[in-house]
Amino acid sequence: MSFRFTSRALVRQFAVGSLSLALLGAFSPLSIQPQAQEARQGTAVADRFVNDLLQRMTLEEKIGQMSQIALNQKESVSPDERILRGQVGSFLFLTDAKEINRLQHLAVEKGRLHIPLIFGFDVIHGFRTIYPVPLALAASWDPAQAEEAQRMAAKEASAVGINWTFAPMVDIARDPRWGRIMEGAGEDPYLGSRMAEAQVRGFQGDEIGSPEHILTSVKHFAGYGAADGGRDYDSSYISEDRLWNVYLPPFEAAVRAGSGSLMTAYMDLNDVPGTGNNFLLHEVLRDKWKFNGFVVSDWESVQNLTTHGFASGPKDAAVRAINAGVDMEMTSHVYRDELAAAVKQGLVQQSTIDEAVRRILTMKYRLGLFINPYVLPSRAETELVTSAQRQAARVAAERSAVLLRNEGDLLPLKSSLSSIAVIGPLADSKPDIMGSWSLAGHPADSVTVLEGIRKRFPSGVTISSAEGVEIERGQPSIFDSQFPSPQPVLKTDAGRDAEFARAIALVKQSQVAVLVLGEAQTMSGERASRSSLTLPGRQQQLLEAAVATGKPVVLVLLNGRPLDITWASQHVPAILDAWYPGTEGGNAIANLLFGDANPGGKLPVTWPRDVGQVPIYYAHNLTQIPDAPDTRYWDGSSAPLYPFGYGLSYTKFRLDGLKVSTASVKSGSPLTVSIEVQNTGPVAGDQVVQLYTHQRFGSASRPVRELKAFRRISLKPGEKQTVALTLDTHDLGFWSPQTHRWSIEPGTFDLWVGVDSTATEHATFTVSP
Ligand code: BGC
């Protein structure tokens, strides 16, 4: 494990130390020109091309295509030598265009068969320009917004020669203790599916190989978000019906949207590791969904089949992974070391290897790598953190923020204010605003909340700032060597108390205090699970002391998961959840605080009051005592603090006139549901109209509500719009634990339309066979 942390840490260093050889003009892809000609034609030609290549490959060269190596992997043989020997098909973590071209040149000019490499990187929410984390993009409830953010991210990543991202992460997560909840779209399979397909479109473009786009790898297949206790890497136990109805739909949506590859999951799913899981990789992915892309393992997860106590040793691990359906091995090298012998011993069929290599080569072909394997180095110089990127990142951050509370319309803040205190450990922190998985981001590019507010008021307003408290992680982070976790600077209690007092004194001297609290960048993400959801460190005390001054306090949260803000929800008049908003976060937050932008985001997760409530989600079953669902615990409410789909605005909306196109619909046909929405408040704003259904009876109990359609709209003051949502009755189908199949069961359904999962506008309809 330690090696992988080193590699990640070295990404930046390597990127800086570029090699001089790298002018594109230095390379002439002459040797591949006949192939290139052919490569311009359709699939049949692709098949012929790949088959021809396969016939000329040795077993070792084939296995080479199935091996991905990470930068700075400590090995006896250098990466250059591996390329020349045909022992590598892909690299991950390279971000330097010149080095990418240099390695590509070795592969296509000096390699025996001139097969290009594919360069992968975790482009999760932006490359150099960091966009809001995926959970935040989901909070926009706007698939077009998520698509646009990933399109821009692909543009930047492709500018340095990256061909392939390990995204989107579509793991459903209903437990905010799990740190990776920030990488996905939250708890709901319908919202998650729409976000999954939107991100695939954004990254890949209209088709694989579109210029300035990159290949996706939907991950982590499957069930990673259900880790026991929210502990990262722990086993998931998911019933068959929940797997089909909740955890698999976003993967299926991404596959249908054309994701060119898929990544396996680390953990055991029902006691079978994701990377050796024949059921998932064969029965579901290939047989049922007809996925024709290639499958890559997660980091060292092939080798780790042994660590799991699943495979007996390296060879067995390699055999189990390839036979389960893993085409490419990430960073461990048991394929390279063991597969050839395994084939010779008959443990793996030659045809299985051919199939895996065919999929990988076909994807390289479709990406156009056989025609143009290089990147123009000038792109890297002109296309990173451009003003267009910044603008798009700012809009994405504005559209992702969720206004959780706004008592007495404290927000937007009046521009006539003469003094503002901007307080908190995250108020002026450049790395933290980017969030986790910002590997190619430069903190120096980030705009903090303090900077954003200062820019908004170039003169005349006193803006003071203090950290107030420090925060730290109890355990090291895997990203520490690149983005160090915050380390306390104040060494004594007296020093800490003085800083605390300084912050509160600034609050007292100001007309309003903006407290920027939450979690530092490395406190969310991989290996960043928590056993509590409290504000880390003494942030809660700081907040309470600020409120106790009697000054109006606005709480701005920077976070990758719901945090325990139950006290704040009662005592802090305004709460804006900005998530980790990315490079332009400070400008976006300033715009939101002062009303240049109006919050319209909605929660993609149910927000618990207390960690003891998790896992908590809105789509639970009715049970035999559906009344008073908030009384399930004798020592506190079992209702969430904020429901799924919730979020306020600076304006008000009225919804009425719910209409359903027909009271009875044939299974498989659509239904149109419409409602009138009017902006009755003083400013323009966005609203997300949400449609939920409930199947009253059937072969299994169905959730009390399930999201089945939504649309985000913008309305000017006074403007009215009829929003028509199509309810596809296919979406009413489910996998029944009694019939062991998926079907739409005829019967009576409830339907609600509103602005969160507690929507009250109600109708019923029936579905006939
Ligand atoms: C993560 C993956 C990621 C890979 C490469 C793993 O630890 O689980 O999501 O794509 O590393 O960085």
pLDDT in tens, 98-137: 999 999 999 999 999 999 999 999 999 999 999 999 999 9
Question: Over 60: is that where the pLDDT of 607 sits?
Answer: yes
Find residue 726's DSSP bridge partners: 672
Contact 152, 534 (CB under 8 A): no
Going by C-alpha positions, the residue among 153, 186, 155 that lies closest to residue 169 is: 186
- Residue 27: per-residue pLDDT: 41
Residue type, 171: D
Nearest atom of ligand 1 to the alpha carbon of 8? 12
The residues near 94 (Cβ < 8 Å, ≥ 6 apart) are 14, 15, 71, 100, 103, 119, 121, 161, 162
State the average pLDDT over residues 30-52: 66
- Residue 41: per-residue pLDDT: 53
The residues near 442 (Cβ < 8 Å, ≥ 6 apart) are 128, 385
State the average pLDDT over residues 535-562: 98
Find residue 720's DSSP bridge partners: 678
Catalytic residue list contains 188:
no
In the sheet where 462-466 sits, what is the strand order? Answer: 402-406, 574-577, 553-558, 512-518, 419-423, 462-466
pLDDT in tens, 278-335: 999 999 999 999 999 999 999 999 999 999 999 999 999 999 999 999 999 999 999 9
Q: Residue 2: pLDDT band by 50, 70, 90 thresholds? A: very low
* H/E stretch holding 365: helix 350-366
- Best substitution site from 73, 214, 298, 437 to test ligand 1's pocket, by max atoms within 8 Å of Cβ? 298
pLDDT in tens, 71-106: 877 888 999 999 999 999 999 999 999 999 999 999
Q: What is the pTM of this model?
A: 0.95
What single-letter DSSP state applies at residue 29? G
- Residue 42: per-residue pLDDT: 67
Judged by phi (left if over 0) then psi (alpha if -120 to 50, else beta), residue 703 lies in beta
- Return the structure tokens found at 18: 């570029």
Going by C-alpha positions, the residue among 766, 758, 637 that lies closest to residue 704 is: 758
Contact 96, 361 (CB under 8 A): no
Of all residues in the chain, the percent with pLDDT exceeding 70 is 95
Nearest atom of ligand 1 to the alpha carbon of 169? 9
pLDDT in tens, 656-703: 999 999 999 999 999 999 999 999 999 999 999 999 999 999 999 999
- Best substitution site from 299, 329, 437, 438 to test ligand 1's pocket, by max atoms within 8 Å of Cβ? 299
* 122 CB near ligand 1 (under 6 Å): yes
> Which residue is catalytic, options 268, 298, 564, 577?
298
In this structure, what is the dihedral angle of CA atoms 708, 712, 713, 718, given to the nearest 10 degrees?
Answer: 90
Q: Residue 415: pLDDT band by 50, 70, 90 thresholds? A: confident
Distance CA 427, CA 582 (A): 14
Q: How far is the CA of 557 from the centre of ligand 1 (A)?
A: 26
pLDDT in tens, 503-514: 999 999 999 999
pLDDT in tens, 639-660: 999 999 999 999 999 999 999 9
Looking at ligand 1, which residue's alpha carbon is closest to its atom 12?
122
Comparing 1 with 721, which gets the higher pLDDT? 721
pLDDT in tens, 583-602: 999 999 999 999 999 999 99
Question: Over 80: is that where the pLDDT of 10 sits?
Answer: no
* 298 CB near ligand 1 (under 6 Å): yes
- Residue 484: per-residue pLDDT: 86
Q: How far is the CA of 434 from the centre of ligand 1 (A)?
A: 18
The count of residues in the chain is: 769
- Residue 263: per-residue pLDDT: 99
Q: Residue 39: pLDDT band by 50, 70, 90 thresholds? A: very low
Question: Over 70: is that where the pLDDT of 229 sits?
Answer: yes
pLDDT in tens, 157-205: 999 999 999 999 999 999 999 999 999 999 999 999 999 999 999 999 9
- Residue 71: per-residue pLDDT: 83
